[in-house]
Amino acid sequence: MSLFALAFIVACDASNQDTAVSQRPNILLVIADDMGLDASPCHSVGNSPASMPTLEALCADGMVLETAYAAPLCSPTRAMLMTGRYGFRTGVGTVIERREPGLSSEEYSLFDAMGEAGYSSALVGKWHISGQGDDDNHPETLGVPEYYGLFSGSVSDYYSWTAVHNGLSMQVNQYTTSALADHAVDWLAGQDEPWFLWLAFNAPHSPFHLPPEGLHSQTELSGSEADIRRNSGDYYRATLEALDTELGRVLDSLPADQRANTVVLFMGDNGTPGKVAGDMYAERGAKGSIYEGGTHVPMVVSGPGVLAGRSADLVHTTDVFATLLELAGAAVPEVDGQSFVPVLSGQPGPRQSLYIEHFGEDDDPSTPMGWAMRDARYKLVAPDGLEQQLFDLEEDPYEVVDLLAGEPVQQHSEKALELGALYTALLE
């Protein structure tokens, strides 16, 4: 265990274990659905990010992880968060449909580990890792003691949708973001420390229905389907602003002592959807792409012991599993993820490279399969059925110039071979 994690735990003898547990941090993991780097007000990538003062306060007080990566689509990202393992190990490589296998209940989950560490825990929000043969008790089989939210990838109507609460389905006629925040607030009110809450908003995922008044500042939007089609970007930003408002309400609901002892990790699960993404990535795509637009996501950690600042250290979604367990003082099993707890105190992170993958059955031609491997500077992209490409992300962050096109210089050929060898070694 690191010195950082130990700072949360009172040194004690066997007779004082309850005191030790009470000093560990509460942990809030917040996921925004379909929020790429270009949508974040904490980054300079996007042209017109949403107004998100709650998130901006977290960024100002905490560590902004500028080189964080997720899967191109939501199901594999959530499976990696749950297990700390790459998709090729769990079998989850693309969006899960209920006709296909979901994440196996045999996996050792983040909730299994948190429970063993003495944490009360809950998952509120989007699930989307259950498949064929999984019933509405799937969260329980993966160690989630309290679940409330939507099982599918999205809702067709933010104001009328089906929720699952601990295996029971129910109709909800309330704006989704607010309903999830309400349940989070209610659950938190009944907790003694320490607790872990995974709060997975489905916003800002489409459809970009206009949020209720008071949750956003967009005043020129009618909410009609025609207006949503014409001004998708404005509605997308309104849903993000509503998410931010409701996240602020969740945080404000905590007593001062609990809030002071709570680590918040906020992240996006994949890139911004193409119809509302900025044009900086050009043909390199957005959500669904193994390029930067689909996988480079916002991530920030704020809370006790976390240094305020920005880090360029490589961070992968699988790393969240190991990091949260280390913060909780729990044993970290052997997984693909590597704890970035040192980064939170300004020290170098453990990662020298990271891996991106997209595989499985997906009928959407805009989300091609393949893999990518990057180090601190270069990224090798290998779309299925196409030539490999190499990009210098330090000089070319939007992947415009393929260094392997034409007659690559020896340096670039050697770098491609080096990154390719890392991929091969990973699969062995």
66 closest CA partner among 388, 252, 300, 262: 300
pLDDT at 2: 46
- Residue in the block written with tokens 């911004």: 272
Report whether pLDDT(314) > 80: yes
pLDDT at 45: 82
Report whether pLDDT(68) > 50: yes
pLDDT at 20: 41
pLDDT confidence band for 97 (50 / 70 / 90): confident
pLDDT tens by residue, 163-213: 999 999 999 999 999 999 999 999 999 998 899 999 999 999 999 999 999
Q: For residue 168, what is the DSSP state? A: E
pLDDT tens by residue, 16-47: 334 344 479 999 999 999 999 999 999 988 77
Cis peptide before 204 (omega within 30 of 0): yes
> Helix (H, G, I), strand (E, B), or coil: what is residue 241?
helix
pLDDT at 16: 36
- Residue in the block written with tokens 């949020």: 211
Contact 269, 68 (CB under 8 A): no
Question: What is the C-alpha separation between 191 and 214, in angstroms, rounded?
Answer: 28
Which of the pair, 367 or 253, is modelled with greater confidence?
253
Contact 118, 21 (CB under 8 A): yes
Contact 170, 96 (CB under 8 A): no
Domain 3-350 class in CATH: alpha beta
- Residue in the block written with tokens 């009470």: 22
pLDDT confidence band for 363 (50 / 70 / 90): low
Question: What is the C-alpha separation between 98 and 100, in angstroms, rounded?
Answer: 5
Answering whether pTM is above 0.85, one says yes
How many CB atoms sit inside 10 A of residue 248's CB? Answer: 16
3-state SS, 121-156, equals: EEEEECCCCCCCCCCCCHHHHCCCCCEEECCCCCCC
**Mean pLDDT (whole number) for 285-312:** 95
Report whether pLDDT(120) > 70: yes
> Helix (H, G, I), strand (E, B), or coil: what is residue 48?
coil
pLDDT tens by residue, 124-134: 999 999 998 89
Burial class (CB in 10 A: 0-12, 13-18, 19+), 3: exposed
pLDDT tens by residue, 331-345: 999 999 999 999 999
Q: How far is CA 401 from CA 130, 210, 287, 404, 412, in A?
A: 39, 39, 21, 9, 12
How many CB atoms sit inside 10 A of residue 117's CB? Answer: 17
**12-16, 146-150, 352-356: range with lowest mean pLDDT:** 12-16
For 85-120, the DSSP string reads: S-HHHHS--S---TTS--S-TTSPPHHHHHHHTT-E
- The pLDDT mean for the chain works out to 92
pLDDT tens by residue, 78-89: 999 999 999 999
Q: How far apart are the first and last CA of the chain?
A: 29
Structural domain spans, the chain: 3-350, 370-427
For residue 197, the cross-strand partners are 28, 122
How many CB atoms sit inside 10 A of residue 289's CB? Answer: 29
pLDDT tens by residue, 235-277: 999 999 999 999 999 999 999 999 999 999 999 999 999 889 8
Q: Which two tokens stand for residue 12?
A: 């004690």
> Helix (H, G, I), strand (E, B), or coil: what is residue 79?
helix
275 closest CA partner among 333, 191, 204: 204
Report whether pLDDT(74) > 70: yes
